[in-house]
Amino acid sequence: MPLLRRIPNTADASRALVLAFCLAAGGVPAFGQLMDNPDWKESDAPPPPAFNMNRLLPVDPPAHMTLRYGIDPASIAVTGDGVVRYVIVASSPHGAVNAFYEGVRCATGEMKTYARYTGDAWHTVSDPDWKRIKDMTSRHTSELASQALCRGQAPRASVDDMVRHLKQPIREVE
C-alpha cells in the first residue's frame, strides 16, 4: 500500500491499481487493453482460418432476424494486441451461406472485417478499418461480443471460456 499513498490524485491511484492487477494477472498486454492506450498498434492479421460448417456454434441473434449465425470455435484466436479474431458464418433459410473473418477489440467496442467467403474462396477486404460495434446495422457482432468474446472491455480469460459462453449463453452484468 505504500505505493498508493505516494500517488497524489485518484485517477493516478486507479491506474496504479489496474496496472498492479494486470501485472499480477499475467503482464502488460492486459494493461493496454484495459486503459486507453494511444500507442496501441494492431498486429498483422493472419490469413483467414479454415472453418467447418459441422462445428458451428449458434450465436443468439435478435428475434426478428431471418439469417442464422454460427461461429466455428476452432477459428477463435486472441492475439497479443488483444484482438479476438474468428470466422462467423451467416446462413439464410434458402440455403445461402456467407462467412466473415472478423476481429473484435473489446477495449474499444470496435470490430473489423478482414475477409469474406462467398462459397468458393476467401476474398480479402482491401484496407479494412475499425468500426464501432454500436453503430453497425448488423447486430451479429454485438451479440457475439456480449454473449461470448468480451467481458467488459477485455477479452474473456481464454478461448475455452469464450466457447463455454457460446454453448451456454448467459447475459452478465459487467
Distance CA 111, CA 34 (A): 17
Given a contact cutoff of 8 angstroms between Cβ atoms, the answer to whether 107 and 132 are in contact is no
Whether 45 is in a domain gets the answer no
- pLDDT given for residue 62 in this prediction: 63
- pLDDT given for residue 30 in this prediction: 46
pLDDT of 118 higher than 70: yes
Distance CA 26, CA 33 (A): 13
Whether 132 is in a domain gets the answer yes
Distance CA 71, CA 115 (A): 15
- pLDDT given for residue 17 in this prediction: 44
Whether 118 is in a domain gets the answer yes
Q: 16 with 64, same domain?
A: no
Given a contact cutoff of 8 angstroms between Cβ atoms, the answer to whether 42 and 83 are in contact is yes
Distance of CA 78 to the CA centre of its chain: 8
Q: 121 with 59, same domain?
A: yes
pLDDT of 36 higher than 80: no
The pTM score is 0.74
pLDDT of 121 higher than 60: yes
Q: What is the mean pLDDT of residues 75-103?
A: 92
pLDDT of 66 higher than 90: no
Q: Which triple of cell numbers denotes residue 65?
A: 432476424
Whether 9 is in a domain gets the answer yes
Q: 13 with 86, same domain?
A: no
Q: What is the mean pLDDT of residues 37-41?
A: 83
Residue-by-residue DSSP string for 11-64: HHHHHHHHHHHHHHHT-HHHHHHHS--TT--PPPPPPPPP--GGG-EEE---TT
Domain hosting residue 57, numbered range: 53-167
Percent of the chain's residues with pLDDT above 70: 75
Whether 42 is in a domain gets the answer no
Whether 119 is in a domain gets the answer yes
DSSP state of 30: H
- pLDDT given for residue 38 in this prediction: 77
Q: 78 with 136, same domain?
A: yes
Q: What is the mean pLDDT of residues 120-142?
A: 88
- pLDDT given for residue 96 in this prediction: 82
- pLDDT given for residue 88 in this prediction: 94
Q: Structurally, how many domains does the chain consist of?
A: 2
